[in-house]
Amino acid sequence: MADQPKLLNVEQQDDLLLIQLTRPQKRNAINDTLLLSLEAVFSTIPDGVKCVVLYAEGQHFSAGLDLSELQERDVIEGLHHSRMWHRVLDRIQFGTVPVVAVLKGACVGGGLEIAAACHIRVAEQTTFYALPEGQRGIFVGGGASVRLPKLIGMARMADMMFTGRVISADEGIWMGLSQYLVLEEQGLKKGIELAKKIALNAPMTNYALMHVLPRIADSTQSEGLLLESLMATIAQSSPEAKQRLRDFLEGRAKKVGE
Ligand code: 1HE
């Protein structure tokens, strides 16, 4: 509706798409409208965009599910609601381009679930992580029970829910919740810097990292090894890979670390 505040701001910068949560007055709590807006944006990534940076206005990445909408749902409505979260977060994780999330302040509940669906997480020093579902008498419903154990292990996730433990940005980096830790206000700059690097990769490599690597992680060892061989063969036979290998052998490509 026209008089409703905009919950997302989307801006294309060359081959990057910057998506900002713009509900700071509610600490970027995720109501259904915001969740469906995210789905719409991630379903229509413009041609030419090679990486997304997801960040937030205000002091907090996201306070999670908008609890004011958690009205009396019956069982089947609850199932559909959780499955809607799964659909949207799968759209982020298994979309067309990698997503770098820039975290700060609260990254809790559904906010952490969204962050976990992204491919790279940059945390500002103010970030803190929690799963207050345990204290609110509910359970995670946006995919955390599948994605978080892959990042930090099941025991740590269970601890967060059993005890309401709040994880600091420093703890989060060694646990694996974020891959990068930066000073306050430096997150977006770092996120864009990383997104620009990711955008330089061969699209086939980014595709393999987004779509094949997590499937290999879900496979048995023998299935995973076969998937790896198939993916490696497809990737190395692409014209872009051949060109990149020639560039290295003929001294035109950067060495590791340059
Ligand atoms: C909200 C929400 C919310 C803030 N739903 N309205 N998530 C939680 O249990 C986290 C709940 N939120 C908090 O613990 C705190 O708000 C924060 C630590 C994140 C930030 O504190 P603070 O002092 O900066 O803000 P505030 O004063 O608590 O909140 C400002 C406003 O945002 C206030 O509304 P106002 O109209 O009184 O100004 C709050 O009510 C509102 N607000 N968080 C609704 N979450 C797929 S299943 C996922 C399940 C979950 O995510 S459960 C975890 C829910």
pLDDT in tens, the chain (258 residues): 445 678 999 999 999 999 999 999 999 999 999 999 999 999 999 999 999 999 999 999 999 999 998 877 889 999 999 999 999 999 999 999 999 999 999 999 999 999 999 999 999 999 999 999 989 899 999 999 999 999 999 999 999 999 999 999 999 999 999 999 999 999 999 999 999 999 999 999 999 999 999 999 999 999 999 999 999 999 999 898 889 889 888 999 888 888
Please check whether residues 192 and 209 belong to one and the same domain. Answer: no
DSSP, res 79: H
| Domain boundaries, position 155 | 4-199
Residue 233 lies in a domain: yes
Residue 214 lies in a domain: yes
Please check whether residues 145 and 71 belong to one and the same domain. Answer: yes
Please check whether residues 91 and 173 belong to one and the same domain. Answer: yes
Query: Residue 7 Cα, ligand 1 centroid: separation in angstroms?
Result: 16
Please check whether residues 73 and 180 belong to one and the same domain. Answer: yes
Please check whether residues 140 and 241 belong to one and the same domain. Answer: no
Query: Residue 63 Cα, ligand 1 centroid: separation in angstroms?
Result: 5
**67 touches ligand 1 (CB under 6 Å):** yes
Please check whether residues 124 and 69 belong to one and the same domain. Answer: yes
Residue 257 lies in a domain: no
Catalytic center residues: 113, 133
Whose CA is closest to 195, among 206, 204, 208, 185?
206
Residue 22 lies in a domain: yes
Which residues, including other chains, have CB under 8 Å from residue 155's CB and lie 6 or more apart? Answer: none
pTM: 0.96
Residue 256 lies in a domain: no
- The span from the CA of 199 to the CA of 178, in Å, is 20
Please check whether residues 98 and 160 belong to one and the same domain. Answer: yes
Residue 236 lies in a domain: yes
Looking at the DSSP bridge assignments, the partners of residue 20 are: 9, 55
By CB neighbour count within 10 A (0-12 exposed, 13-18 middle, 19+ buried), where does 209 fall? middle
ipTM: 0.98
Residue 255 lies in a domain: no
Residues 30, 60: contact at Cβ < 8 Å? Answer: no
Query: Residue 51 Cα, ligand 1 centroid: separation in angstroms?
Result: 29
Residues 157, 144: contact at Cβ < 8 Å? Answer: yes
Q: Report the number of distinct structural domains present in the chain.
A: 2
Whose CA is closest to 210, among 70, 77, 99, 87?
99
Please check whether residues 121 and 183 belong to one and the same domain. Answer: yes
CA dist list (Å): 158 to 67, 112, 131, 163: 22, 14, 9, 8
Please check whether residues 194 and 208 belong to one and the same domain. Answer: no
- The span from the CA of 129 to the CA of 97, in Å, is 25
52: CATH = 3.90.226.10
225: CATH = 1.10.12.10
Phi, psi of 183, rounded to the nearest 5 degrees: -70, 160
Pocket perturbation via mutation, ligand 1, pick of 7, 23, 27, 139 by most ligand atoms within 8 A of CB = 27
**147 touches ligand 1 (CB under 6 Å):** no
Phi, psi of 138, rounded to the nearest 5 degrees: -120, -165
Residue 34 lies in a domain: yes
Please check whether residues 220 and 184 belong to one and the same domain. Answer: no
Map tokens 């997503």 to a residue.
99
Please check whether residues 135 and 242 belong to one and the same domain. Answer: no
Q: Would you list the DSSP string of 189-226?
A: HHHHHHHHHHHTS-HHHHHIIIIIHHHHHTS-HHHHHH
Final residue before a domain boundary, out of 164, 183, 199:
199
Please check whether residues 183 and 209 belong to one and the same domain. Answer: no
Final residue before a domain boundary, out of 167, 182, 199:
199
